[in-house]
Structure 1
Amino acid sequence: MGRQLTFDLGFWPGMGRGDFFVSPANALALATLDAGGWPGGKLIVIGPEGAGKTHLATLWATEQGAAMVQAARLTPEAAPRLAAARAVVVEDAQHLAATPGAETALFHLHNLLAAESGRLVLTATTPPRDWGLALPDLASRVLAAASVRLQPPDDALLSAVMVKLFGDRQITVDPAIIAFLTSRMDRSLATARALVAELDLRALQKGGPVTRALAIEALDSMS
């Protein structure tokens, strides 16, 4: 008998404040964004992949009416349009140096925002000294910006996120299984989303609940 086909119809995590779980891993970054008043109106949010930078940046951008753009898609032509929002988030800024025209675009964007007392938030996996910026005027401005760090998700944050993700799929999971998963999975919110989707798929295929045995299978499949 052929394998039953099942489809993940798209469970997108909420990005509002009610969907953002505060823990010691992200509390300082959230408080710094909320406080505002950063020197020169600039802030760099630094953290490893899967730490929640995009969720945090999206939350701030939504509440502030800010424009958002990936560094790899930043062009000089886009700078005036982005600056018109007077608040801009540039994500994955560690890719600026590898993207033709992106450094020049960010330099223009920075100056346009500064002229209007606007705000600029950059997210990155590494500090700006490691981005390999070749434009001296941009490098000096970025290096002078305030920064805050996001730590890898701790067990409390991963547990809360996984309970929410399972709940979004109308799945109730024993807290012991949640604890089992968080103690063995990668410290990443992206991994949490992938793991929940994998367990949902396996449970649908077997027509039963999420069990410890399924959890072991899912962890092994992602290792």
Structure 2
Amino acid sequence: MARQLRFDLPVRTAHGREDFFVSPANAQAVAMIEGWADWPGRKLALLGPSGAGKTHLAHVWAALSGATIVAAQDLAGHDIPRLARTSLVIEDVPMIAGDIRAEEALFHLHNLALAEGHALLFTAHTAPARWGLALPDLQSRMEGTTAVIIAPPDDDLLAAVLMKLFTDRQLSPTPDTIPYLLRHIDRSFDTARRIVAALDEAALDQGREINRRLAIELVGRLAG
């Protein structure tokens, strides 16, 4: 069978509130994001595994609050007083552990933004106590931040995540594809992301639609 022509079509990730599926696994996190005006100390740590929806919820909150989103690893290159003039999402805070310049930037940003009456949202995979930040004052401030966890997905949430991942890639799997994947892949957001990417590539390489048969072949091959 001839291969399909391959085009580098963009993956258009949807980050609107209407695109975020609420289930028992993430309902508390969604409630905290929507109730952000009542955060203790005007700050929150949003925790969860890779692909859990932290970035999506961060964009939802940014739209609600007018916040700016910045990666923790980029803080050392920013004008901190200017950045502190708005509410902020600081993504992947543990990535700067041991980077003194970045940690100092976050420490000053934390203090300035709160002093100006703004709110802060931090994202990470694990609880603040495990971030391993080198500056004791910064680590203590992070540990004093209220945290909410996005739990591992239930069936409804994992199905919605799979469908969203397909939609972001402009793909339309047959109706029997997602029910098969729910029964046969590891129950994690990261696995869902990897399997959708693999199905996309396999369908292009083989000139086939994304269906249950292709999913069976791919899951079996990856498991082996």
Q: TM-score, normalised by structure 2?
A: 0.87
Q: Does the 8 Å CA contact 1:76/1:104 hold for their aligned counterparts?
A: no
Q: Which amino acid aligns with 2:66?
A: G
Structure 1 residues 65 and 172 mapped into 2: Cα distance closer, same or farther (>3 Å)? same
Aligned to 2:54: 53
- Match for residue 150 of structure 1? 150
Structure 2 counterparts to residues 1-20 of structure 1, below 5 A: 4-20=4-20
| Aligned ranges 1:200-211 → 2 under 5 Å | 200-211=200-211
Report deviation, 1:109: 0.5
Query: Using the alignment, how far apart are the partners of 1:11 and 1:126 within structure 2?
Result: 27
1:34 maps to which residue? Answer: 34
Provide the rounded CA distance (Å) in 2 between the counterparts of 1:73 and 1:222.
36
Paired residue secondary structure (1:75): helix
Give the conservation status (yes or no) of the 8 Å contact 1:76–1:108: no
The equivalent residue for 1:129 is 129
Give RMSD over aligned pairs.
2.3
Task: Measure the CA separation in 1 of the matches of 2:173 and 2:6.
Answer: 20
- 8 Å Cα contact 2:72/2:95 also seen in 1: yes
Q: How many residues align?
A: 221
Looking at structure 2, the residues matched to 202 and 76 of structure 1 have their Cα atoms a distance apart, in angstroms, of 40
One-letter amino acid of the structure 2 residue matched with residue 71 of structure 1? A
> What secondary structure is seen at the aligned counterpart in 1 of 2:110?
helix
Report if the CA contact (8 A) 1:50-1:187 is conserved: no
Q: Which amino acid aligns with 2:131?
A: W
> Once the 2 structures are TM-superposed, how far is the Cα of residue 190 of structure 1 from its aligned partner?
4.3
Amino acid at match of 1:78: D
Tell me, in whole angstroms, the C-alpha distance in 2 between the residues paired with 1:48 and 1:81: 31
Q: Is the alpha carbon distance of 1:88 and 1:167 closer, same or farther for their aligned partners in structure 2, counting shifts above 3 Å?
A: closer
Match of 1:120 in 2: 120
Q: Residue 65 of structure 2 corresponds to which residue in structure 1?
A: 64
Q: 1:5 to 1:209 in 2, by over 3 A?
A: closer
More moved, 137-146 vs 187-196: 187-196
Note the alpha carbon deviations across 1:13-53, whole angstroms, 9 max, x for none. 20001110111111101101111211211111111222111
CA contact (8 A) 1:25 1:151 kept: yes
Query: What SS does structure 2 have at the residue aligned with 1:122?
Result: strand
Counterpart for residue 216 of structure 2: 216
1:139 is matched with 139
**Cα distance in structure 2, aligned partners of 1:9 and 1:200:** 11
Task: Identify the residue that residue 181 of structure 1 maps to in structure 2.
Answer: 181
- In 1, the alpha carbon distance for the partners of 2:78 and 2:171 equals 45
CA distance in structure 2 between the aligned counterparts of 1:128 and 1:156, rounded to whole angstroms:
29
**Shift of residue 151, structure 1, vs aligned partner:** 0.8
SS of residue in 2 equivalent to 1:123: strand
Q: CA deviation at 1:220?
A: 4.0
> For residues 128-180 of structure 1, what are the alpha-carbon distances to aligned partners after superposition, in whole Å with 9 as ceiling and x for unaligned?
11111221221222111111111122221121232344355252422x32111
Counterpart amino acid of residue 39 in structure 1: P
| Unmatched 5+ stretches in structure 2 | none
- Give the residue type in structure 1 aligned to 2:15: M
Provide Cα deviations, 1:76-118, integer angstroms capped at 9, x if missing partner.
Answer: 7432232122x10111111221334111111101111121111
Name the amino acid aligned to 1:131. Answer: W
- For the Cα contact (< 8 Å) 1:8–1:197, is it kept in 2? no
Q: Give how far 1:124 is off.
A: 0.8
Residue 50 of structure 1 contacts residue 152 of structure 1 at CA under 8 Å; is this kept in 2? no
What is the CA–CA distance in structure 2 between the aligned matches of 1:5 and 1:194, rounded to whole Å?
A: 22
- Residue equivalent to 1:171: 172
